[in-house]
Amino acid sequence: MNPYFNALVSDYISEKEVKKSIEQRTIDSLPPNDALIEVHYSALNYKDTLSANGHRGITRNYPHTPGIDAAGVIAECSSGKFKEGDEVLVTGYDLGMNTSGGFAEYIRVPSEWVVPLPSGISPKEAMIYGTAGFTAATAILEFQENGIKPESGKVLVNGATGGVGTMAIAMLAKLGYEVTAASGKPEQTDYLKKLGAAEVIHRNEIYDETRKPLLAKRWIAALDNVGGNTLSTLLRSMSENGVVCNCGMVESTEFSVNVFPFILRAVRLIGIASADTAMQRRLEIWSKIFGEYRLGKYNFNIKEVALNDIIAEIDKMAKGKQVGRILVKIK
């Protein structure tokens, strides 16, 4: 095996400067885990932009190779759990955070993190979903398990043009839910409708500053990618027994809310932490993605880029300017 491989490397120079470049690394420099994987595809997520740009809450030590998603084939597995050539995916856990990540031709991870691909699912299809699809699917499964049916009412998805938002709208629409997409990009209204949204609103419409304890009932379920006052607004705008899944914080990590949505409308707030999903639940969610939630056709933008072009895409996502999924073809 060639001892060298190409990888994105982020180097923390100072608080104001993080250098990103494509470099040659050696297999020996990978962490000493039991499963060496030749990466064929990765995908870009918001968390990758934080890691790549020196966010110490995500990645403590630099130089570092980001990439929280990877799919490809087993090159070596010393534990015997997988054999050479098995097609697999890895998302979350510590991949791309403090473990060398998927924006590279190889990763080496504990085999406990590795999910086998079912036959008929390619590494490319797995990465079209990636962490974004897995996160959206986790929320949808929570909605279903909490009794939210297509006929229950409208479902709100914000951060609509982003990775998680895109996947959530497409999957919910496929399952027959009536989806309202909230976006800061009015020029993407037609795109979001094509994706499956029944209605598109501006994100300002779910940003209430009155601080009223409760607002008019609008949604039976919501997938919140943004946190902050938007999450507070959503909680106060839910119908009785409404379910809000929060997974993100692009607006803010802080939010304030009174107890009335909970004690007067029995609203439930569920946290989504996809990276640390236990393997049994993880396999259940992937089987939903490759089964009931699988999208026969993709009505969303999929931009496929080479590893050499990833830096510009990271910078664009960090500015909130991406629309749809960025797929990284590694091999």
Ligand X SMILES: NC(=O)c1ccc[n+]([C@@H]2O[C@H](COP(=O)([O-])OP(=O)(O)OC[C@H]3O[C@@H](n4cnc5c(N)ncnc54)[C@H](OP(=O)(O)O)[C@@H]3O)[C@@H](O)[C@H]2O)c1
In the complex, the residues that contact ligand X under the rule CB under 6 A are 45-47, 131-132, 135, 159-165, 183-185, 203, 225-226, 247-251, 272-275, 317, 320, 322
Shortest CB 5 distance to ligand X, Å = 26
Question: CB-wise, 121 or 160, nearer to ligand X?
Answer: 160
Residue closer to ligand X, measured from CB, 35 or 182 = 182
Q: What's the closest the beta carbon of residue 116 comes to ligand X, in angstroms?
A: 22
Nearer to ligand X, 26 or 253 (CB): 253
Closest separation in Å from C-beta 186 to ligand X: 9
102 vs 165, which CB is nearer to ligand X?
Answer: 165
CB of 135 to ligand X, least distance (A): 4
Residue with smallest beta-carbon separation from ligand X: 162
Residue 30 or 44: which CB sits closer to ligand X? 44
Chain Cα centroid distance, residue 307: 19
Residue 230 backbone dihedrals phi, psi, to 5 degrees? -65, -40
Per the listing, tokens 């990465």 go with: 127
State how beta strands 106-109 and 178-183 pair: unpaired
Q: Can you tell me which residue has the tokens 């939210």? A: 148
Helix axis angle for 163-174 and 123-145, nearest 10°, is: 70
For residues 153 and 159, which CB has a smaller minimum distance to ligand X in the complex?
159
Cα distance between residue 104 and residue 187, in whole Å: 34
The whole-angstrom separation of Cα 226 and Cα 249 is 4
Are the C-beta atoms of residues 34 and 77 closer than 8 Å to each other?
yes
Nearest distance from C-beta of residue 306 to ligand X, angstroms: 20
Sequence-separated (6 or more) residues with CB below 8 Å from residue 330: 39, 40, 41, 42, 72, 102, 103, 104, 105, 307
Count of beta carbons in the 10 Å neighbourhood of residue 260:
14
**Minimal distance, residue 284 CB to ligand X, in Å:** 16
β-sheet bridge partners, residue 47? none
